[in-house]
Amino acid sequence: MSLQIEASQAERDVSVDLTVAAGETLAVLGPNGAGKSTVLGMLAGLIRPDRGRATLGDEVLFDLPGAWLPPHRRGVALLAQDALLFPHLTVRANVAFGPRATGASRAEAASRADEWLRRTGTRAFADRRPSELSGGQAQRVAVARALAAEPSLLLLDEPLSALDVSVAAEVRGTLADVLTGRTTVLVTHDALDAYLLADRVAVMHDGRVVEEGPTRQVLERPRHPFTAELSGLTLLRGVRTAEGLRTDDGMQVRAGDAVAPAVGSPALAAVRPSAVRLVAPDDVAARSADASIPATVTALEPQADLVRVRTDRLDALVPPAVVADLRLHLGARVALHVPADAVTLYPA
Amino acid sequence: MIAGARLGVPRWILVVAAVGALFVLLPLVAMALRVDWAHFVPLITSPSSVDALLLSLRTSLVATAGCLVLGIPMAIVLARVPFAGQRVVRAIVLLPLVLPPVVGGLALLALYGRRGLLGGALDVAFSTPAVVIAQTFVALPFLVLSLEGALRSAGERYEAVAATLGARPSAVLFRVTLPLVLPAVVSGAILSFARALGEFGATLTFAGSLQGVTRTLPLEIYLQRETDPDAAVALSLVLVAVAIAVVAVAHGAGERVQPWRARRRSAISTARTAA
């Protein structure tokens, strides 16, 4: 069933307009406090917008001021960061909760529960208490519970962020299996979730949707700095030149295959930090075909086994050894070498 | 390791705490020493004693049921429904807790008595129902107070999940909310029962003291004290035994009605040890 929402809430300063086609997964990306969870709350019926309208298929979820469908009559299941399995019920009874609540007989609910436990690979835990499950097991049971309710719309609120990295991959696999063909809104701040689970993404910032489109297009050709930040890219804004792009403050980068706009027209460039090379500012031997861009280090952020070196120009993602060799510190001067294949150029 | 054990508390605190414990314990020991054990059984099985004990148990159980029926909805409204003047309402609900019981009895008389506000339409004064009303009146705040606190700390997250799974509000209440706060319901009910069992002032004022009708065990003890001090002491010991049993059950209630809590706690401590 297709979903449409156009609503605003003054207290949280959230105002959105989103559409999800039937069977499609939309990822809502954005930093903390961007209003992503508020949107889910509105759809689930747990947060009441001041005004607006949402429809799911033919059903009007709300049309405010005026119509308001309570949560239990919406057919909208919500899966949160924590599994929130009912601690007083067995795993099977948890999954059977939705079917029972909507009128299925005891036997029918139990068989539906077993079917979903099987599909999420948790059948073996059916008779356990939630307190006897690991985080990943509990979250997979929560997926089963949400889907056993046969919702018309599934809402996922950072479903993997409370899990260890290895466990998250496993649960992500389970989700990828069950989301196919199911109308879903997935809130996340992880670009990987969007890549693997979503057909389209909407990027929120300060309570507004600032960018929306097919996942790859939005994440690989970001139009806003925070979208670039989410996918780990550095966004440059400037004018198309014969070789690449010149930013407003005069920095030049070369771009590879230039399918981008005509020379002289406004353009954007997304730069992959992992391809940017850092050298000492006076290192003549290191000079190459790439232009050498002088820069000043503004931050050093560990990222897995690499370090993101933020400068006043571009970010570079380098091994810790480079940071040590160049004796990088806040305010240190460096030279950036940007190979053409690290730059994607597209119209502004 | 407990933080307090490592840091240590001042020695004098231990001394004062021990004095406090003796302050509570010694009077009870003194009373137990005065019991005429040779005649203990005949003393507590006299017709008037048995009448009083049975009446006390009967009325206290009904009063506890009354507290549950009225108190659970009150606690839910106070914990879940925001409304103007909520603090005032809570203060009023808790009033019987701080009111002298005699005053409570007079107030009940002023409403339900023959010449009360209800004009004798519900003339229950000086009857067994009056005992139950008096006990419910004084015991209700115990249930409301403990349940409201439990509801607040349990939060609404499980209830929200249940609603999105299609459960209507009543189903959420009976299948999620109440099971989650069951320990508080049980311990609140036990406290209410204990308070009802010990009720004296409001009962005497509002219900009087008729053997087998309104003379509960505390009233019987007070009466016997004049005529047969040995019987009064023996009956007192029975009440002490009942009270100790109630406290023990109330302490164990949380663990027993909610075994998954205990298990989870042990899982957490295991994880901590491993870490």
pLDDT digits (tens, 9 = 90+) for B130-183: 999 999 999 999 999 999 999 999 889 999 999 999 999 999 999 999 999 998
Are B22 and B54 within one domain? no
- Please report the pLDDT score of residue B271 as a whole number: 41
DSSP annotation of A260: S
Spell out which residues of chain B touch residue A102, defining contact as CB-CB under 8 Å: 166
Are B13 and B99 within one domain? no
pLDDT digits (tens, 9 = 90+) for A109-131: 999 999 999 999 999 999 999 99
pLDDT digits (tens, 9 = 90+) for B30-76: 999 988 888 888 888 888 889 999 999 999 999 999 999 999 999 99
- Please report the pLDDT score of residue A96 as a whole number: 96
Mean pLDDT, residues A311-318:
91
Are A132 and B158 an interchain contact pair (Cβ–Cβ within 8 Å)?
no
The answer on pLDDT for B258 being more than 80 is no
List the single range of A56-60, A196-200, B44-48, B129-133 with lowest mean pLDDT: B44-48
The rounded percent of chain A whose pLDDT value lies above 70 is 96
Range of the domain at B12: 1-33
Mean pLDDT, residues A94-123:
93
Domain boundaries, chain A: 3-227, 238-348
Q: Which residue of B has its CA nearest to A101?
A: B167
- Please report the pLDDT score of residue B125 as a whole number: 78
- Please report the pLDDT score of residue B197 as a whole number: 92
User: How many Å lie between the alpha carbon of A125 and the closest alpha carbon of chain B?
Assistant: 15
B267 to chain A, any CB pair closer than 8 A? The answer is: yes
Q: What angle do CA B25, B26, B32 make, to 5 degrees?
A: 95
- Please report the pLDDT score of residue B123 as a whole number: 73
| pLDDT interval class at B272 (50, 70, 90) | very low
Are B51 and B23 within one domain? no
- Please report the pLDDT score of residue B39 as a whole number: 87
* B147 touches B188 (CB < 8 A): yes
Mean pLDDT, residues B200-209:
92
Domain count, chain B: 2
Q: Which residue of B has its CA nearest to A80?
A: B161
Residue B105 CA: distances (Å) to CA of A136, B67, B71, B135, B211: 58, 17, 20, 10, 19
- Please report the pLDDT score of residue A245 as a whole number: 87
CA-only gyration radius of chain A, Å: 24
User: How many Å lie between the alpha carbon of A244 and the closest alpha carbon of chain B?
Assistant: 52
User: How many Å lie between the alpha carbon of B147 and the closest alpha carbon of chain A?
Assistant: 18
Mean pLDDT, residues A145-173:
90
The answer on pLDDT for B256 being more than 60 is no
The answer on pLDDT for B254 being more than 70 is no
Are B1 and B50 within one domain? no
- Please report the pLDDT score of residue B255 as a whole number: 55
Paired strand residues for B197: none
A3-227 fold: Rossmann fold (3.40.50)
Closest partner CB to B163 (pick from A71, A87, A129): A71
- Please report the pLDDT score of residue A170 as a whole number: 86
Q: Which residue of B has its CA nearest to A42?
A: B164
Does domain A238-348 sit in CATH 1.10.3720.10?
no
Mean pLDDT, residues A240-257:
84
| pLDDT interval class at B252 (50, 70, 90) | confident
Mean pLDDT, residues A83-96:
95
Mean pLDDT, residues A204-231:
90
- Please report the pLDDT score of residue A287 as a whole number: 57
Top mean-pLDDT range of A110-124, A288-302, B3-17? A110-124
Spell out which residues of chain B touch residue A130, defining contact as CB-CB under 8 Å: 260
- Please report the pLDDT score of residue B265 as a whole number: 42
Mean pLDDT, residues A84-100:
95
ipTM higher than threshold 0.90: no
Q: What is the mean pLDDT of chain B?
A: 86
Residue carrying the six token digits 């300063």: A13
Are B242 and B263 within one domain? yes
The answer on pLDDT for A346 being more than 60 is yes
- Please report the pLDDT score of residue B273 as a whole number: 38
Q: What is the CATH number for B150?
A: 1.10.3720.10
Are B122 and B246 within one domain? yes
**Cα gap B87→A62, rounded to integer Å:** 33
DSSP annotation of A160: T
H helices of chain A, where? 36-44, 91-101, 106-119, 135-148, 165-179, 191-197, 215-220, 225-230, 320-325
Burial grade of A103 (CB within 10 A; 0-12, 13-18, 19 or more): exposed
| pLDDT interval class at A260 (50, 70, 90) | low
User: How many Å lie between the alpha carbon of B150 and the closest alpha carbon of chain A?
Assistant: 15
Mean pLDDT, residues A307-311:
93
* A141 touches A117 (CB < 8 A): yes
Residues 6+ apart with CB under 8 A from B41: none
The answer on pLDDT for A219 being more than 80 is yes
Mean pLDDT, residues B235-258:
76
- Please report the pLDDT score of residue B264 as a whole number: 43
- Please report the pLDDT score of residue A294 as a whole number: 87
Positive or negative torsion for Cα B24, B27, B30, B32: negative
A84 to chain B, any CB pair closer than 8 A? The answer is: yes
